[in-house]
Amino acid sequence: SGLIPMLTLYHWDLPQWIEDKGGWTQREIVQHFMTYASVIMDRFGQRISWWNTINEPYCASILGYGTGEHAPGHRNWKEAFTAAHHTLLCHGIAIKLHKEKGLTGKIGITLNMEHVDAASERPEDVAA
């Protein structure tokens, strides 16, 4: 069929029991994610050519815990930055596990980024 699967470890599917304990704001999530990633890598291993660790950590952390625009709908900047730290830490752990397990597929993270042009050439617009 020519399709090449990409396995995403986290794509907005945090188990409710983890969210009930604080979700991405709790340090214990790092151990849970490491265990989960290890099991998935052991199970699917060499059959996956493309691995994605975390889908859009900005949305999960900043929009989920800071602005409240996404689940879990919190409005707490300390939580948001803690969640951002933990999602990126989990990304790094997944990269390390992938390497330690000798997996040959490519691995990365999905980031949502935007290009923004200044409203004018005025220095204050360019700086903004």
Instruction: Tell me whether residue 100 is in a domain.
Output: yes
Instruction: Tell me whether residue 101 is in a domain.
Output: yes
Going by pLDDT thresholds of 50, 70 and 90, the confidence category of residue 114 is confident
Going by pLDDT thresholds of 50, 70 and 90, the confidence category of residue 4 is confident
Cβ distance 82 to 25 under 8 Å? Answer: yes
Q: Residue 100 sits in which domain range?
A: 6-112
Count of domains forming the chain: 1
Mean pLDDT, residues 86-101 taken together: 98
Going by pLDDT thresholds of 50, 70 and 90, the confidence category of residue 111 is very high
Cβ distance 97 to 41 under 8 Å? Answer: yes
Mean pLDDT, residues 115-126 taken together: 92
